[in-house]
Structure formats: C-alpha cells, structure tokens
Amino acid sequence: MAQPCALLSVWDKDGITDLGRSLSALGWQILSTGGTARTLREAGLKVTDVSEATGHPEVFDGRVKTLHPAVHGGILARRNNEDDMSMLAELGYGTIDLVCINLYPFEDTAARIPPVSNSELIEMIDIGGPTMVRSAAKNHADVVVLTDPTQYSGVLDSLAQADGNPSGVSQEERQSLALAAFQTTAAYDAAVSNELENRFIGQDMPSRIHLSTGEQTSLRYGENPHQPAAFYPAAGEFTGLAAAVQHGGKPLSYNNYLDLDGALKLARSLQVTCSNEPHSCVIIKHTNPCGAAVDQTQVGAWKNALASDPESAFGCVISFTQTVEKATAEAIGDHFFECMIAPGYKPEALEILSSKKNRRMLTLNPIEPRVEEVRLRQLDGGWLAQVQGPPGIDWGQVKCVTDKQTDDSEVALARFGSTVLAEVKSNAILLVARTETGCATVGVGPGQTSRVEAVRIAARRAGDRARGSMMVSDAFFPFRDGIDTAHEIGVATVVQPGGSMRDQDSIDAANEHGMAMLFTSTRLFLH
C-alpha cells in the first residue's frame, strides 16, 4: 500500500495536533499550510508544505495557496478510474486520502461589536477551504473529509483498526462525513450571503432568504402524537430558546417550544414598553397569553397574571424577566405548569419548583429586550416574511378622541395593554386594569371571527373585574356595538387603532356612555 496522505489546514486548531500525531503514528504523510503547518511542527511532527507539493508559493497574503491541480487533482482523482490515475501519475501528483478543513470565522467576525469594516469582513470569506471541502466531499468514496474537531476521534478509531489503511473508514461513515461537509459549506455560503445582503443592500426585507440551521433535536412528536417533529437551532452561536438551559424534567415538546416562544416574545416586549416596572410575568396557554402583569414585586406580578384566568392557566407556560425568588416559588405552590423560563432561579426557588413532577424550568440569561427582526412563516408554495418586534405605536401621536380625557396613568396602562394584545391571536380584545403596584390583564378574548364576541369572552373571563377596566382592541370597531357591549360590562376606557369609516359612531357611543377613548393609529393583528 502506498503511503496515505492527509491534508490538514484549519482555522480552529482544537485537536489538530493530536490528529496529526495519530495519523503520523499510523504511517500517514502530512501536508499542511500556514499556521496549521507551524502548529504541527511546533509539536514535533514532520510536515510537508502544500507549496512544496504544488511547486508554487502561497501568494496574495495567503489568498491563493491550495487552488492548484496538485491539490485538487490529488483529491478528485477517482481511484478506480484508470484514465484519472494515469493522468495524475503523468502530472507527477500524488493522491490525497484525507482532507481536514475548518473555515475562516466569517460569522464570528460579522458579529463583532463594533462592526468590522467591509474590507476586513471580506478577508474572512474563505475560498480555498470550501473548495477543498467540496472536492473531498464529492469524491468521498476515495477521500475522508473532516470539517469539525468532534469528527476526529471516530475516524482515527476506524483507521487504527485497519492499521492506518484508508479503507478502514467505511462507506457509510464517509457518506455521513461528506453530508456534514456539504451542510457546512451551505451554511457558510448562507451566512456570507445574508450578511452581505444586509451590508450592501440594507433593505427591511431581504431580496432572498437563505436558511441555515444547527443540528436538529428530535422531539417526542409534533402538535399531535402522529406527527414527527424536531427543533432546529439557528446556525452560529446559540441564542433564544436554543441557548436556554433546562433543569431536569422530560424533554420539551413541539407545543412547549411554541408556547415558550410566545412567552419569551411577550416578556421581551414588556421590557421595552414597561421598563419602569422591574418585574414581568407572562402566562401562555396554546400560544395565547391568558394572563400577564408588570409589578414592583415578582410575587405581585405572578398573582395578578394568574388572576386574569386561573382556569386557562392550568398546564401553562410561564415566563419571568427577573431571577425567580423563593417567595415567588412558594406563591406558585402546587399550581400545575408545563414549563417556566427566566434569567435564573434562586437555589431555594428551584428546589421548591422542582418538587413537583413533570415541571420543566429553563434558564435563559439574559432575557434581552425585544428588537425588531425579520420573522418567517412557511405556507404552501413558499414563505412569508415580515418585520416583528414590540408594538410600533408612537405614543406621542396617540389621541384621546372623546369628551372624557385620559391621564398619564391611563396612557401607561394602554402601553401595557397594547404590548400584551400584540401577542394575542386576532380578532382579539384585552381587558386590563391598574393593580396596587403595577398593571395586569383581567380578561382576554382571543382569536374570534367576531370582535363583539371577543369582547364578550374577555368580559366572561374578567367577571366583576371588568368594571372600571380598560378595553384594548387590535383593530378598529366597524360599528358601535363593540363600544356599547364594553359599556354594558363596565369598561371605563377604550383603546383602538381607529380608521373605520364609522369611527365617529364609536366616538359618539363612548361619549354617550361617559367613556374615554384613545386612537393609536396602529393595528396589532396577529394571525
């Protein structure tokens, strides 16, 4: 058997010395470039520079070093093709049996704060690396391709069992490594495309959408037991739910993820619109908020959020925006919830919460205030994209259109109510009220085809607490019947976008009933 040859050229040097040492011990020749070659030599390994194999020096500050037929011929030549092997011998090139490459850190460079210049970022676009990876992956029947340090040990075990013979790596293993390699280059290209689109074009909506993810986590099932499901983290550094740490309990389900996402979005929005209140609590059931509160105390936020609809909150998902305290855990007591997400837990609080079976507590630290971002939704035949974030209401332009006027306290309550309402499925009506030390929902009417029916549902949930409350609507009232119904249940103030041809009818109704009404000029539909 001819001496097998490995080409090692990596940005991330983790494990590369051990890989090189093990390959050398198995009788392999090592080709390398630049910093990788230097690292291997410093470890005492014999290394042949790629420039020696190509007969051509690295040029243009390393921009061109492996783009040469000696490299790609050695990778791509089909070992079972006589013409390929004759041509390779005629050219005087040898075969390359293993390629170990990881790429320039484009994504890490793009994420730097403050942002790097375009010229600096461009230099982090790897050319030779992806080209070698793709060549090796294409010819995986003859070449082993490694793109991640976690792959090294498995391949070395296979080679060791075969006394260093490349044939010791099975075709199944080669196929798996090749797939990972193509996924790596695809993700890399997506990252480059997305970042340059943002820098060069800078539109609210991208001209194209390129998706890339990390490795999936299989879920027990989807929304229903007959539906397979998985969670795919966004590519790059973990953020959001991908970065959350679970403290015991069974794995999260598809529905858990949906509800946690809803809880997290609303909690993050409240940090923007109600920043004067230190504590927020959100209770989600089937992706809709059934209770939310901001308060000077965490216990108060929990109790007021729960009071909005304790029946629906059975088996809920809960979010807090501050570390969960012992007193809060004690107040929650035996209440059954599926999941909780917070920036952290006091040890005593976690102990109390964990005492009940099947609860899942997650830590996401920090829970950052929400910002506007492009969100995607798949539909039959394509994707929809829109910019989403906290409600984009300009409160400086909000108008009180009734004889009865509102004060600063009511405007603050309207800000809270609008923030919660923005995460309730349309048509939606929300009843909110002041508490002793904050604001809370008292009735939620989600997802109705009739806005009047949404008012009735919110009223039933609120009961007596509807009296003196504020009613917030995600869209205008086309007729005065919604205002009349609100008066019947005791609503004191109405908040709505306005914009109906019959706005004056709604204003007249509010004046007749002695109610105040704010027009925000901003619709808050959530379909």
The HSE-up count of residue 514 (CA atoms within 13 Å, CB side) is 3
Q: How far apart are CA 293 and CA 301, in angstroms?
A: 5
Q: Which of 13, 286, 326, 513 is catalytic?
A: 286
Q: How far apart are CA 294 and CA 448, in angstroms?
A: 26
Q: Is 339 left (phi over 0), alpha (psi -120 to 50) or beta?
A: beta
The enclosing H or E element of 71 equals helix 69-76
Give the relative orientation of helices 171-196 and 152-161 as an angle to the nearest 10 degrees: 160
Q: How far apart are CA 4 and CA 458, in angstroms?
A: 73
Q: Which of 13, 56, 138, 404 is catalytic?
A: 138
For the chain, helix, strand, coil in percent to 5 are: 40, 20, 40
Fill in the amino acid letter for 97. D
Q: How far apart are CA 44 and CA 36, in angstroms?
A: 13
Do residues 340 and 238 make contact, with C-beta atoms less than 8 angstroms apart? no
Running DSSP on this structure, what letter comes out for residue 422? T
Sheet with 144-146, edge to edge strand ranges: 48-49, 29-32, 5-10, 98-102, 144-146
Within 10 angstroms of residue 107's Cβ, the number of other Cβ atoms is 20
Q: How far apart are CA 262 and CA 401, in angstroms?
A: 33
Active site residue 404: no
Expressed in angstroms, the distance from the first to the final Cα of the chain is: 65
Q: Among 400, 422, 188, 482, which Cα is nearest to 292's?
A: 422
Signed CA dihedral, 170, 171, 177, 181: sign only: positive
Active site residue 138: yes
Mark 330-345 as b/e (b = at least 16 C-beta within 10 Å).
Answer: eebeebebbbbbbbbb
Which amino acids are annotated catalytic? 138, 286
